[in-house]
Amino acid sequence: MTVIAVTGHMDLTEESVILVREALDQLLADHAEHGLTGVSCIAKGAGSIFADAVLSLGGRLIAVVPSADYRETKVKPAYAAEFDRLHQAAAEVVVMPFTEANREAYEAANNELLRRADHLFAVWDGRPGSGRGGTADTVAAARAAQLPVTVVWPEGAIRRS
């Protein structure tokens, strides 16, 4: 069984969501026949696209939630129903030991993703991060730990400005 974690951008354009989903579907299909477990923080954007793709392929989802207050303080109303759906569909939910969502909690959640994974998929435009605990830092940590990283950034994908 392959355990694949995801890190990636939350601010994808609607068109980019479609491109990323198609790319993830293709990449994950190669792993689905041997048993697939996906690990995601199920945040809007890359995390939720990946989680839904894993579930659609019959895989097992592990959701890593950065803090006890994450759902109430960080999940926007427009995304709440999708977050709740993925949270309920997860075979396992890990809530990191932080009361409040902050950079430290996000960094710990990303470290937990890497600890559980055999491979990291990074929905990443390749640019440096804007602070601790983001996509670029997670990719750097995975590479430092010699965890295989597949960057998923299809041609035409962009982030909202």
In 10-102, which residue ranges form alpha helices assigned H by DSSP?
14-32, 46-56, 70-74, 77-89
DSSP class of 131: S
Q: Which residues contact 118 (CB under 8 A, 6 or more apart)?
A: 2, 3, 4, 147, 148
pLDDT in tens, 80-117: 999 999 999 999 999 999 999 999 999 999 999 999 99
pLDDT at 1 over 90: no
Task: Report all structural domains of the chain as residue ranges with CATH numbers, in order of start.
Answer: 2-35+42-151 (3.40.50.450)
Average pLDDT, the chain: 94
Between residues 34 and 150, which one has the greater pLDDT? 150
Cross-strand partners of 64: 94
Pairwise CA distance, residues 118 & 94, whole Å? 18
pLDDT in tens, 113-152: 999 999 999 999 999 877 666 899 999 999 999 999 999 9
Contact 7, 49 (CB under 8 A): no
Q: Which residues contact 145 (CB under 8 A, 6 or more apart)?
A: 114
pLDDT at 30 over 90: no
